[in-house]
C-alpha cells in the first residue's frame, strides 16, 4: 500500500510493530489511560478511522477483536495511513515519519518538536 508516495513495506510494518511493542491478544492502557490493543497498540479512535473513515458510531468490542489479530490490525494500520493527508511540505515520508504518524497522530506529528523528539527516541528502530 502506498502512503504519501512511499510503499508501506513489510519492514516498515515490522518497525512500527516493534516500536509499539504490543502483543497479539492483549490490551493495555497508556499513560493517558487510553486503552490500546494488539501488536500495533491501536486505540478505538484510530480503529474508527481505519474501519469507517472516522464516523462516530458505536463500535462495541469489534475494535478489540480486530486489533488483537495481526492480519486485521495490519490492514487497519495500512488503511489509516491511506486516509491521512500530508501536513506542511512533506509529501514523501520515511518509515520513521509514518511510525510517528501512527504513534502520535497527525496533529502531534505535524508539530516539529514532537516529531523531532519522537524520531530521536526511535531512530534506531526503523
Q: What is the pLDDT of residues 99-108, one digit of tens each?
A: 888 888 887 7
User: What pLDDT is stored for residue 4 in this prediction?
Assistant: 57
CA distance 44 to 67: 9
Reported pTM: 0.79
**Among candidate residues 118, 52, 39, 54, the one with its CA nearest the CA of residue 110:** 118
CATH topology of domain 2-125: Lysozyme (1.10.530)
Q: What is the pLDDT of residues 11-61, one digit of tens each?
A: 889 988 988 888 888 999 987 899 999 999 999 889 888 887 656 666 667
Inter-residue contact 82 to 53 (CB < 8 Å): no
Axis crossing angle, helix 112-121 with helix 95-110, rounded to the nearest 10:
150
Cα-based distances in Å from 111 to 19, 27, 114:
20, 28, 5
Domain boundaries, the chain: 2-125
Amino acid at each position: 500500500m502506498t502512503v504519501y508516495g512511499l510503499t508501506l513495506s513489510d519492514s516498515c510494518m515490522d518497525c512500527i510493530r516493534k516500536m509499539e511493542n504490543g502483543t497479539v491478544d492483549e490490551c493495555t492502557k497508556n499513560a493517558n489511560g487510553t486503552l490500546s490493543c494488539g501488536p500495533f497498540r491501536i486505540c478505538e479512535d484510530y480503529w474508527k478511522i481505519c474501519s469507517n473513515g472516522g464516523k462516530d458510531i458505536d463500535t462495541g468490542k469489534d475494535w478489540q477483536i480486530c486489533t488483537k489479530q495481526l492480519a486485521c490490525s495490519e490492514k487497519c494500520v495500512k488503511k489509516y495511513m491511506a486516509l491521512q493527508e500530508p501536513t506542511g511540505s512533506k509529501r514523501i515520508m520515511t518509515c520513521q515519519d509514518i511510525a510517528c504518524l501512527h504513534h502520535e497522530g497527525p496533529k502531534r506529528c505535524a508539530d516539529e518538536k514532537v516529531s523531532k523528539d519522537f524520531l530521536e527516541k526511535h531512530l534506531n528502530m526503523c
